[in-house]
Structure 1
Amino acid sequence: MKLKKITLLIISIILVSIFIFNDKGIIKSKTQDYFVNAIVEENIDLTPPDIIEINPNKCQKYIIGKPKISINFKDSSGVDLSSIKLYINYKDVTKECNITDNNITYLPKKKFKRGNQIAKIELSDLSENKNKKVLEWYFTVGTPIYTHYRGLLHAHTSNSDGQGTYEDAYYLSKYEAKLDFFAITEHSNSFDNDLKCNLDNASPSKKWTNLLNCSKKYTSNGEFIALDGFEMTYSNKVNPPKGHINIFNTDGFVSRNNENLDLKSFYSLISNYDDLIGQFNHPGTQFGDFEDFKYSPQADSVMCLLEVGNGAKKDISKNKRTHDMYQKALDKGWHLAPTCNQDNHKMDFGIANEYRTVILSTDLSKEALYDGLRNMRVYATEDKNIKIDYTLNDSPLGSTLNKPSKLNFAICAVDKDFQDKINEIQVISNQGKIIKSKKFNSNLAKLEFNLPSNENTFYYVKVIQNGDKISVTAPIWVKK
């Protein structure tokens, strides 16, 4: 009983102590002040304004040439209208906008050029903290002519010196990597009955026949295209080695085991076929640089591609980069687009890393993809989903312009992954000269500029991202 009385006494003293009289004799609770202050602090506005709606929307396509740009916003503290800034393709257009308490609209005076347009809005609220909101997005003006399809053009299975079956390779690349296309290109000297086969007919080879049948099985237009080809693999034990070449869109194959097919003879042979597509594989000292890329006018009509990236290691620094070989071949007169392939030899078809070859094509079919490769509407990338649009005088990468009076460059790079920042865009010409570059720190980047037509004969684009990821486009050539 005594313990209960003592406990009640202590509680009473504590309760009395938290009350005081104010100057008017009214009892006031310090505890009450504490909770009131806490509530006030909790009500401090720490949230920037909300963007309710944007138009055109993120990634929206098929927009008319002069779309009305509108952004709706709100904030519990109100928006500081003087803080609002709207940028279109990096130009501040705020003074040309109509601004209300919850909306900003902008109508361009001129039509946008076809392609991606980058928009950015900045605004702050009226709270004591002046919370700031920044939103950047892009939309596309004009109906895109080509779709960007992603895949790989170099792989091996157990039918040569790799692992897995044809089924394994196409299944993984289609369903696990979710590629649009994938090519199996076995070393032709590993095929059975190789000396009984030629470019017109390779039916004596069971391995080749099985490859064609499997590619047909996995091909579904508009969904996935299983490509087939062969790798002409000149021995690297010869000093200096000649190199390796992939051939696509062929009914058959030839092999290095045919002693009459040296590099010059092989060039001559493939030049007799209008529809063949050739790729210089991993050029360099290890496997060969094709006799220092000695130019062959005959082979130039077939050789459309060159690997600037090759390897299946996840750490891209441990794979092969041959941008210098690409530059050398272009300077020697070859007309080539760059590719980036995993050259799979293990059960990691398409999933080994982010290497991709991107083809600009009218649709997802074998014929359309081969048309894109043959016309070099191609770029190579070490990022799985970056999208690069590059035109010169409104002509796409891979084009040749005849005697233009001036050159209008338009380049846009977009990565859907916000953390994959674009650090720089470079435009590179003959002898590796960088004629224009611009720094960025965004997953959206755009570069437009004009030049007088001069002695340069080709221009290609290099995009550098964080993580040392590099993408390279096919050139656009200029004839004087």
Structure 2
Amino acid sequence: MKFFKTRSYPIFTLIGLLTAGVTANAQTKPVYHIYAGSTHAHTSYTESHGAQWNQIPNMKPYQSVDSNGVQHPEHSTMKPDAAKFQGPPSVHYAIAKANGYDFYITTDHSQEPIFYPVRPDNAAWVGVHQQAAAATDKSFVAIAGYEHSENNGPGATGHLNVINTRPYLSALAKGIDIKYLYKWLDTVSAYGDGPVVATFNHPTAKAYDNWAYRDPKVTDVITMLEMINSNTNIHYDAFIGALDAGWKVAPVCGNDNHGTMGIASQKSRTFVLATAKTKAAILDAMKNRRVYASMDNNIQCRYTVNGEIMGSTLKGNGTYKFDIDINDPDTGNPDDKITKIDIVKDGGQVVQTYDVKIPVFAVKWSPEIKDATAKYFFIRIWSVGGGDAPKAKLTPDKPMTWLAPVWTGR
């Protein structure tokens, strides 16, 4: 008989090893907090149009583009009390903070005169980031980006928000088309903490040359799509079109306000699941698609599939165990009660529905789906009142919240 030498450990060493294992295992499951804000806003730096102007009747608010791709406004007069309607980034951040936003991203058009010449040390561009940093504290995160916005200029292939880049582009400059932008996004450096992220803005079903020119690198930068624009404009068909074309985008809400009044009045929100209320953590949530969009300004939504959080790419085995947790804290408002939850897959096909027979403020649902072909699943939610946005209350028969997909890895 052959004997093997064994190694003995003191009991405290064994306990230490076991404790270390438990700690290491616990560290693999981060704690996510839910924060609400907006991913799209225009300040007085967007000079071509906005609430600060008296617009000429029957004339488009932006008319001329010079040889450098700089856009010039052609309005009659600026309102004498323009400051009541519009202000610089610092004013936007202050109002957003006062109105309970956890984060707020300003995204002025980069082809505006104030951002010319287009260079990283442009005084206005640097100033936006300085104002964002000054407005950020433990209770509020201000972030700067820009809208890559053609505004019916050459090509008219769509608008995107580009967030947290050190340099920037003008969409109307010669040679700066969508293909150029996508390659640039593959390599562009970040402005301080956090990654670079981007979102498709208010798209149509076949925008961006019908979702062409995608590559793996830019797919991991453009991680969001504006499901809700200007409080109640819904871009669901575009969301399905982008997903079916292979883009891995999650739904967000952009106020797209061209004045300060919309900050308080608009109730739809982007939500992120982030590890902390910091610029880096919020951008990380966006990068990893832990986001959702809602016309309710504080609905709390979480779900996992096979233990992986929303926005994840799974190691698909054909069986998908969902754990869905939805609740609305406004228990004094019966309009906020949840009435229905859908699980949706490729092409917008509804896989399973949970009809809430008696509407409630909190729902937990754990269905299991077997599917050998789906490339993605996402969740949408209905409520009694259709959301907090005033116009949404006219359509409670339509969804009011859309959660980030999970991808099956196919």
Q: Is the CA contact 1:390–1:412 (under 8 Å) kept in the aligned structure 2?
A: yes
Alignment of 1:109-188 (within 5 A): 145-160=31-46, 161-162=49-50, 163-175=86-98, 177-188=99-110
1:70-129 CA distance string (max 9 Å, x none): xxxxxxxxxxxxxxxxxxxxxxxxxxxxxxxxxxxxxxxxxxxxxxxxxxxxxxxxxxxx
1:10: which partner in 2? none
Alignment of 1:395-474 (within 5 A): 395-404=308-317, 406-418=319-331, 419=334, 420-440=336-356, 441-469=359-387, 470-474=400-404
1:181-224 CA distance string (max 9 Å, x none): 00111000015353441xxxx21x2221221111011011x311
1:256: which partner in 2? 171
1:322-361 CA distance string (max 9 Å, x none): 0111011000100011001211112225312211100100
Q: Secondary structure at the match of 1:271?
A: helix
Alignment of 1:18-167 (within 5 A): 145-160=31-46, 161-162=49-50, 163-167=86-90
Q: Secondary structure at the match of 1:173?
A: helix
Q: Distance in 2 between matches of 1:247 and 1:231?
A: 6
Q: Is the CA contact 2:38–2:269 (under 8 Å) kept in the aligned structure 1?
A: yes
1:346-387 CA distance string (max 9 Å, x none): 222531221110010010111111110000000011101111
> Which amino acid in the other structure matches residue 372 of structure 1?
A
1:294: Cα distance to partner? 1.7
1:468: Cα distance to partner? 2.5
2:54: which partner in 1? none
Q: Does 1:363 align with 2:363?
A: no
Does the C-alpha gap of structure 1 residues 454 and 295 become closer, same or farther in structure 2, counting only changes over 3 Å? farther
Q: Secondary structure at the match of 2:366?
A: strand
1:302: which partner in 2? 221
2:209: which partner in 1? 291
For structure 2, which runs of at least 5 residues remain unmatched after alignment?
Answer: 1-28, 51-85, 190-194, 388-399
> May I ask how many residue pairs the two structures share in their alignment?
322
1:405: Cα distance to partner? 5.1
* Larger Cα-atom Rg: 1
Q: Is the CA contact 1:233–1:245 (under 8 Å) kept in the aligned structure 2?
A: yes
Does the C-alpha gap of structure 1 residues 325 and 206 become closer, same or farther in structure 2, counting only changes over 3 Å? same
2:132: which partner in 1? 215
Q: Distance in 1 between matches of 2:41 and 2:296?
A: 19
Q: Is the CA contact 1:154–1:343 (under 8 Å) kept in the aligned structure 2?
A: yes
> Which amino acid in the other structure matches residue 475 of structure 1?
P
Which sits farther off after the overlay, 392-401 or 451-460? 451-460
Q: Is the CA contact 1:191–1:208 (under 8 Å) kept in the aligned structure 2?
A: no
Q: Distance in 1 between matches of 2:337 and 2:115?
A: 50
Q: Which has the higher contact order (CA 8 A, sep 6+)?
A: 2
Q: Does 1:266 align with 2:181?
A: yes
1:453: Cα distance to partner? 4.3
Q: Distance in 2 between matches of 1:192 and 1:311?
A: 24
Q: Distance in 2 between matches of 1:398 and 1:193?
A: 34
2:71: which partner in 1? none
Residue 234 of structure 2 is aligned with which of 321, 344, 350?
Answer: 321
Q: Secondary structure at the match of 2:373?
A: coil
RMSD across aligned positions (CA): 1.8
Q: Distance in 1 between matches of 2:128 and 2:113?
A: 11
Counting aligned pairs with the same residue, the percent is 29
Q: Distance in 2 between matches of 1:367 and 1:413?
A: 26
1:119: which partner in 2? none
Q: Is the CA contact 1:195–1:255 (under 8 Å) kept in the aligned structure 2?
A: no
> Which amino acid in the other structure matches residue 250 of structure 1?
T
For structure 1, which runs of at least 5 residues remain unmatched after alignment?
Answer: 1-142
1:448: Cα distance to partner? 1.1
Q: Distance in 2 between matches of 1:463 and 1:193?
A: 41
Q: Distance in 1 between matches of 2:89 and 2:409?
A: 44
Q: Secondary structure at the match of 1:223?
A: coil
2:162: which partner in 1? 247
1:192: which partner in 2? 114
